[in-house]
Structure 1
């Protein structure tokens, strides 16, 4: 992923008002992010923990960002779930049903789209965990590359749903 400026991120939101974008807090470590090992940028707002952000650059260089909302504490289920983006299985508190208001008039009318995503947006590192070499996975590096491609595809599909495509 190419390094993105704060201004580029703020201008790429498709489902947030100008005031919501103006209030967003970038990740604490924004200036030291390892952009080379990222397919997407996701973070929870440190001042508003139920708010999250997902930023994804497409292959053509266009950047799309969405504002997400996490469930209230009482709405979480007590079971292991699968992150829909990285497909990593986590314990019950590590994946949330993040909800995004749809882009455009549909979102202003109250329509939303949700998906299960790692609570702290650890998808980039999850897909890079190499499986042990065995008969099923003779080339762990190839498995990681496939996971990275899958993460990109599923993120793109989620963002298309938010945009009503």
Structure 2
């Protein structure tokens, strides 16, 4: 992903008002992000743990979506798999994140996604998920990256339909 500015990020949001996009908390470390290793920019709102944001290149433009985290269930020790990068986590490492659809019909779209939205880093082995987090695959890294990008595109298409 190419480096993007705060202004570009705020302008990219499609499922919230301009006022909401203006007020959302943008990561302060944009200059330090590993842009070459990111397939999308994702972060949690530090002031409200139930909110998260995802910005990705979708077609010829940036598309940002505001996400809400479903209430986690206490006591889960089972493994769950991220639907974007196919990394498995124990406990609350994967969460159901929902986004309002842009159609204005009041519906939302949900996906199970790495809670910290660090899918790109898990995929490339830049962030450790622990034993059993990445299943052995015969795909090359480039094929895994393409699959993740396709999964992100599919999610964004569902939001913007």
Shorter-chain TM-score tier? 0.7 to 0.9
List runs of 5+ in structure 2 lacking aligned partners: 127-136
Q: How many residues align?
A: 151
Q: TM-score, normalised by structure 1?
A: 0.84
Q: Which has the larger radius of gyration?
A: 1
Pairing 1:156–2:149 present = no
Higher relative helix content: 1
Decide whether the 8 Å contact of 1:129 with 1:144 is kept in 2.
no
Q: Aligned-pair distance for 1:148?
A: 0.4
Q: Hey, what does 2:130 align to over in structure 1?
A: none
The CA RMSD over aligned residues, in Å, is 1.9
Q: Hey, what does 2:143 align to over in structure 1?
A: 146
After TM superposition, what 4+ stretches of structure 1 lie above 3 angstroms from structure 2? 73-78
Q: Aligned-pair distance for 1:77?
A: 5.1
Q: TM-score, normalised by structure 2?
A: 0.86
Pairing 1:70–2:69 present = yes
1:75 to 1:115, Cα distance in 2 relative to 1, 3 A: farther
Decide whether the 8 Å contact of 2:5 with 2:30 is kept in 1.
no
Q: Hey, what does 1:124 align to over in structure 2?
A: 120
Decide whether the 8 Å contact of 1:27 with 1:46 is kept in 2.
no
Distance, in Å, in 2 between the alignment partners of 1:63 and 1:118 is 21
List runs of 5+ in structure 1 lacking aligned partners: 131-135
Distance, in Å, in 1 between the alignment partners of 2:53 and 2:75 is 19
Q: Aligned-pair distance for 1:129?
A: 2.7
